[in-house]
Amino acid sequence: MLGQQAMPQASASAGGQRLRLLTYNMQVGISTARYHHYLTRGWQHVLPHALRSENLNRIGTLIGDYDIVALQETDGGSLRSGFVNQVEYLAHRADFPYWYQQRNRNLGRLGQHGNGILTRYEPEILEDHKLPGTLPGRGAIVARFGHPSEPLLLIAVHLSLGQRSQMRQLAYLRELVANYRHVVIMGDMNTRQQRLLLDSPLQHGDFHVFEDEYHTFPSWRPVRGLDHILVSRTLKVHGIEVMDFPVSDHLPMAVEVELPAAVGSLLNPAAPVAMDRR
């Protein structure tokens, strides 16, 4: 479903600072509008294409209104992207002072496949985690904001397709968040919200369960909810939106959350710095 709830403008309130969050599987900037495009445009996963730069600029415009963005299926600078680190490019395009590119499959000049995070606020801690699974190549970016006594933990992920690997990965994520009250997990999770929160290792994580299933795939006729932003019940949710932005084969999902007053003081932007740790 597209745009089921309006997204309010980011603002501070008596209850605490608000954050606008967005997750997007950008398919390395490839336009996909039909299933047969996986075949006819598959070569773009290896070779450059002029439309990719236009798509990157469109994505840069989209994400400019958000505070923290998680990206999946990014390229870190190979032949297919014109040797452009797409996360770095989008950070500059949308004026994000902090960014990090996680490389999960390094194919040299043929592909630098991974995830990315862009944020307007400096993480106190940033960690790169390789997720367990039958096949290597899935990862999680863990960012902690604020004072250690009352932090916000945010994890950007891209989970496997297979159920067995997903269960192992979700158990791993459950261990990462076990000692935190204020948690956001966002990304392409390749499964439905109900299964994530009611029948997985995250079921006891005390996350909001949204009444509606927000469909993000395929972008040209979304019927499946694969992309999610899971939010602890300690954070108030003010708006949820699946955006009508059919560039890749997924649609972006956005949520606005209100932080508890004790956590809101973490929002102190500092001097710009890239967090690209190769």
Q: Contact 253/23 with Cβ under 8 angstroms? A: yes
The reply to whether omega before 260 is within 30° of 0 (cis) is no
Q: Where are the beta strands (DSSP E) in the chain?
A: 12-13, 16-25, 68-75, 98-106, 112-119, 125-130, 139-145, 152-158, 182-188, 227-231, 236-242, 253-258
CATH number of 16-264: 3.60.10.10
Q: Residue 226 carries which side chain, given as an amino acid letter? A: L
> What are the domain boundaries of the chain?
16-264
pLDDT at 2 over 70: no
Q: Contact 108/114 with Cβ under 8 angstroms? A: no
Over the stretch 117-133, which tens digit does the pLDDT of each residue have? 999 999 999 999 999 98
What are the CA-CA distances from residue 214 to residues 91, 110, 135 (Å)? 27, 34, 28
HEC readout, 130-185: ECCCCCCCCEEEEEEECCCCCCEEEEEEECCCCHHHHHHHHHHHHHHHCCCCEEEE
Pairing of strands 152-158, 139-145: antiparallel
Is the model more confident about 264 or about 169? 169
Q: What's the CA angle centered on 150, arms 99 and 185, to 5 degrees?
A: 50
* pTM: predicted TM-score of the whole model, two decimal places: 0.89
Is the model more confident about 96 or about 274? 96
User: By percentage, how much of the chain surpasses pLDDT 90?
Assistant: 63
Q: What pLDDT is recorded for position 209?
A: 86
Over the stretch 212-242, which tens digit does the pLDDT of each residue have? 789 999 999 999 999 999 999 999 999 899 9
Confidence at 73, pLDDT banded by 50, 70, 90: very high
